[in-house]
Structure 1
C-alpha cells in the first residue's frame, strides 16, 4: 500500500544516541512498510489522493487551509500535489534536519523560494534592507519588480571593511516600516560576509522603535547546509537554491526555505496559492542527492583550497576572493570562524587585465566547463560582470568590486591535479 499522510520518524538509536543528518538522509521520514517494502520512497506522480471517507476529506482541508488547529498527534492527510505529496513531505522533513528547523518548504526553483518568501512577509509601504552584492535574480526582483507593489529597498555592502547595515536601517526608517533584512552571506560572487548576530541585534533594537521586528532572511546557498547553519546564528528564515550543492548534479532546478513554524506558515499558504511547489520527481532526485551531500561538499572544498593556493601564486592572477585568505586577526576572519566551518568551494578571482583577458581564460578551458550555476560535481567557471550579474547596473557592479577582470569558479570533485593543469594552460593562453 502507498505511503500514507502519517509521517514516519526515527532520529535516535536507543535512548542515548541521536543520529547525524548525513545518516538520517538514508531513511528519515519514510517507512518502507507503507510502500510495499520499497527501500527508497517511490515517485508519487499523482495529482490527487483518494480519501477514506468524506469526514477525512473535510478534516484534511481544515488543516491544509488553517481553518483550525490540529488535535494532539494529528497531521494533515494527503489531498492534492499542489498542497502536499509524499515525496514533498519526506524531502522537507530531511531538509529541516540540517538546520534544526521546525519546518522546511521546497519550491520549483531558488527564485520561487525567494519570491514566495518575500511576497508572504512584505506588504505595500514596507522597506526591505538587503546586502549587496546578491544573486542577480534576487537583485532584479528587489530593484525592478517589488517597487510596483509598493515595496522599496535600501542596500548595504557586505564585507566587513565596508559594513553599512546600521546606516542603511536608519535610511530605511525614513521610507517606511522595515519589514525584512535580506542578506546573502557569503556574497555571490565576492564572498563578502555579513555578521548575522549583528543583524539580529539591530533587528531587536528596531522592533522597539517601530513596533515590528523585521525578519532576517539569509540566502545560505554558498556554504549551507553543511558548512553554515544560518538559523543557529540569528536568521529567521534560511533560503537555498537546491539546484546548487544540495542537488549537486546539475540535473534539476529547485529551492527551499526553512525556519520556525510561525514564520513558515504564511509562506506555505502563499506557495499553495501561487503553485510554486517542487515537483514529485524533483523531490525524489533531491532525496537521492542528500545522501551524498556531505561527502561531495567535503571533496569539493578540499579541491578548492588547493586551487585557491595555486591561483594566489600565479603571476596572471591579481586577487583571489577566497574565504581561507581572510587577514589573520581581522573582524572578517572572526565572523567567518564564528558562522562557518569551511571556506567552501565557490569563489571568484581577478585576472590581470580586463574583459579581454578574462574571456581568453574562459575560452581556453578544456576540462572546466564555461557555464553558470555552481555546486555541481563538475567544475564550472563564468564571468559575473557579463553573465550572472549582467542585470545589475554597471556602476553598482564596479562599486561592489565585481569588475570585468573577475571570474567565478565552482570547484567540483574531479582530481585536483587535472583541474590545476587545465587552469594553468588557460592562464598561459591569456
Structure 2
C-alpha cells in the first residue's frame, strides 16, 4: 500500500509522541520535572556537548533529556507539531508572545543597528521597539502599508541607515486595522540591504492569521513569531509564544532562549498540545462567524467603516496581497462607530454576550478599544496616521452561534 501523508490536523493527536515510552498513555503526560537522569556519565557528557554547541549531533544519534530549561518532552512534542502547520524546520516555544518577539530582536540586533518595522504593530511590540530597544542603542524605522520597496529603501538611504539595518519586522495583517503588508516587498528590501558580511533577517508576526490561514515561510520569510496565547492556545487559559523558522536561524533563537530562561513550562506545553487538536475546527468556525458579523456591521447605519479582509475587492492593492498570501479572511475585524470615544464606550459597556477584554483568537468573542487599551502607548502621531481613532472598536470573533453575536452587537448599538 502506498504510504499515506496525513494532513496537519490529523497528526495533532499523535505526531512526535510514543505511547510505549509513557506506560501506554494515549495522551502525552505532563512531565512536571526540573531535571532528567542520565544512564551514564558518558551519556550526560554527550548530551551537553550538543546542547552547548561544542559539536554537531551525529546523523543517527538519539539525544536524551537534560534539564527542563533546555528541553522537556511536552515542549519538544509541541514544537514538532507546530512545525507541521508552517512547514518549518524548527520551533521554539516561549513563556509569552512578547518573550518570543523580544528574544528574536535581542538575538539579531546589536547596539548601532536599525530595525525596519511595519506600522501599526501590537502595542507591546511598539513599546519594545520605541521605548526599550533605544536604551540599547537600537533604533526603529517604521513603514506603512502601500509603501513600495523602492520607497522604503529611499527612506533608509536618505537617513544614512543602509549599512545599519539588520532586520525587517512585519505584522500582517496589522493589529488592529487589518492593513496588509506584501511579504515579497519585505524580502526584497532585506535582500537589497544585505551583503556578504551582513544578513538582514525578515521576521513576521503571524498571530492574526494563526498557523492556519497564512504561511509566511512560503513567501521567503526567515522567522515567524506568534503569541500562542491567541489562536494556538485558543481558550483564554494560558500565556505563551512561539518562534519558527529554518535551523540556521532557530539555532541562535534557541541558544538565547536557553540562557534567558524564558521557555514555557511543561504544563503550558501540555495545554497547547490539547489546543492544537481542535485548532482547525475552532478557527474554521470563527472565520465563518466573522463573515456574518462583518456583513451585518457593513450595512448598519451607526457604523462608518468596517475593516475586514473579506470585504476587499478586486482592483484594490490590498486585495492582491490578500489573495497571494492568505487562504482566509480570518476572524478579526474592526469598525469605526459613528461618533467618538463616548459612543465607542457606550457600545462596549452595553455588550451582554461578548466580553470586554483584550486578547484575541479565543473561543469566546471579545471586544476592546485599541486607542485607550492595547495601543494606548502608541504615539498620538502614529495613531492618527494609522487610523487608530477614538471611534475604532476591535472585535475578535469566537465560536458562539453567529446569530447570538449579531444580536448582541445590535442591541449594544441601539444604546449608542
TM-score by length of 2: 0.97
The answer to whether structure 1 residue 343 and structure 2 residue 326 are counterparts is no
4+ aligned runs moved over 4 Å, structure 1: 159-164
For 2:354, the equivalent position in structure 1 comes to 368
* CA displacement at 1:162 relative to structure 2: 12
Q: Cα deviation per residue 1:299-342 (whole Å; 9 max; x = unaligned)?
A: 00000011000000000000000011123222211111010011
Q: 2:304 aligns with which of 307, 311, 318?
A: 318
Q: Cα deviation per residue 1:142-188 (whole Å; 9 max; x = unaligned)?
A: 10111111111100013569995334443465375210000000000
Q: 2:109 aligns with which of 122, 125, 133?
A: 122
Q: Does structure 2 retain, via aligned residues, the 8 Å contact 1:157–1:164?
A: no
Change (3 A) 1:203 1:186: same
The answer to whether structure 1 residue 410 and structure 2 residue 396 are counterparts is yes
The answer to whether structure 1 residue 147 and structure 2 residue 121 are counterparts is no
For 1:242, the equivalent position in structure 2 comes to 228
Q: Does structure 2 retain, via aligned residues, the 8 Å contact 1:123–1:151?
A: yes
For 1:382, the equivalent position in structure 2 comes to 368
* CA displacement at 1:15 relative to structure 2: 4.3
* CA displacement at 1:224 relative to structure 2: 2.4
Q: Does structure 1 retain, via aligned residues, the 8 Å contact 2:156–2:162?
A: no
CA RMSD of aligned residues (A): 1.6
Change (3 A) 1:194 1:204: same
- Provide the secondary structure at the position in 2 that maps to 1:87: helix
Change (3 A) 1:256 1:322: same
* CA distance in 2 between partners of 1:384 and 1:218 (Å): 21
The answer to whether structure 1 residue 185 and structure 2 residue 191 are counterparts is no
* CA distance in 1 between partners of 2:409 and 2:300 (Å): 10
* 1:31-430 to 2 correspondences below 5 Å: 31-159=18-146, 165-171=152-158, 173-174=160-161, 176-208=163-195, 211-430=197-416
* CA distance in 1 between partners of 2:62 and 2:155 (Å): 43
- Provide the secondary structure at the position in 2 that maps to 1:265: helix
Gaps of 5+ in 2: none
Aligned length: 416
* CA distance in 2 between partners of 1:418 and 1:168 (Å): 48
* CA distance in 1 between partners of 2:338 and 2:146 (Å): 23
- Provide the secondary structure at the position in 2 that maps to 1:76: coil
Q: Does structure 2 retain, via aligned residues, the 8 Å contact 1:157–1:163?
A: no
Gaps of 5+ in 1: 1-13
TM-score by length of 1: 0.94
